[in-house]
Amino acid sequence: MKRFSVFQIILFLFGAVLLCNGIHVLMVTNFNLGSLLVLGLGAACLLYGALFRRLRRQRWLHVLAAVCCLVLTVCVGAVAFAGTNDNPTYDEDAVLVLGCGIHGETVTTSLANRLNAAAAYHAQNPDALIVVSGGQGPQETITEAAAMERYLLSRGVPAEKILKEEHATSTLENFKNTIPLLEERFPDGYTLTVITSRFHVFRAVRIARHTGLLVTHVGAGIRWYTIPMNYLRELVAIANEVRRGSIRL
């Protein structure tokens, strides 16, 4: 009977968990790059585990795999830490809630979590203006900002405290399009906190700096089974922003 090493068993288990997670995510959410990355990583772990004995003499390959795992762990850890290290003062002049997609006219769970965080912030700082930012994408019958406004109104936030930005299609545009709206409302300057999902905080804060804003932030929770998908996809997004020059690490 063929025996597997402890390392191989770990690879098999990790790969199987990732594959199951990727399949589950595909069944309950829309297909995206994150789910594809989870499935790919899971398949790679299973393949590496199956071929591990045959590749024993390929030390460079094992070193490369170890380095990749270490880099991935450090990067995910840094992004995760940024998302849990909230720092609002609760006396900011404005709040910017970043959109993340809707189904028709209904906010997604991730977006609802961001809006719930905004409603909780409003309870502690009712004087702050809440900017909801997001344009209209495929399979969306209204703008994200309009759906976000409806949700906040249903949570008791007054209409006069909500300002819509309905044209942004990216995080960078969220900030670029919001700046003139806030400058018009606060000609003498303003302080701003950003509310987004925890996995997105790292990138959002650095893009804000790129546009000239120094912001505080609040990270909204995400569903546990979307963690691998969201963080893997976010690393790709961060790398793309670095390539474009809108983020400096």
236: which 2 tokens? 């790709």
How many CA atoms does the CB half-sphere of 153 hold within 13 Å? 11
Q: What is residue 140's DSSP assignment?
A: B
CATH tag for 94-244 (out of 3.40.50.2300, 3.50.50.60, 3.40.50.360, 3.40.50.620): 3.40.50.620
Q: What is the mean pLDDT of the chain?
A: 93
As a whole number of angstroms, the distance between CA 216 and CA 194 comes to: 6
Instruction: Give the burial class of 31: count Cβ atoms within 10 A of its Cβ; 0-12 exposed, 13-18 middle, 19 or more buried.
Output: exposed
What Å distances lie between residue 123 and 34, 116, 222, CA to CA? 34, 11, 21
Residue range 59-86, pLDDT digits in tens:
888 899 899 999 999 999 999 999 999 9
Mean per-residue pLDDT, 191-203: 98
Q: How far is CA 212 from CA 91, 153, 248, in A?
A: 20, 30, 13
What does the pLDDT read at residue 30? 67
Q: Which two tokens stand for residue 152?
A: 């906040």
Strands 129-133 and 162-165, how do they pair?
A: parallel
> Domain locations in the chain?
6-84, 94-244
Q: Is the pLDDT of residue 1 over 70?
A: no
β-bridge partners, 217: 194
Within 8 A by CB and 6+ apart from 74, the residues are: none
Q: Residue 73 is which amino acid?
A: T
How far apart CA 21 and CA 143 sit, in angstroms, is 30
- pLDDT tens digit string along 73-131? 999 999 999 999 999 999 999 999 999 888 889 999 999 999 999 999 999 999 999 99
| pLDDT tops 80 at residue 185 | yes
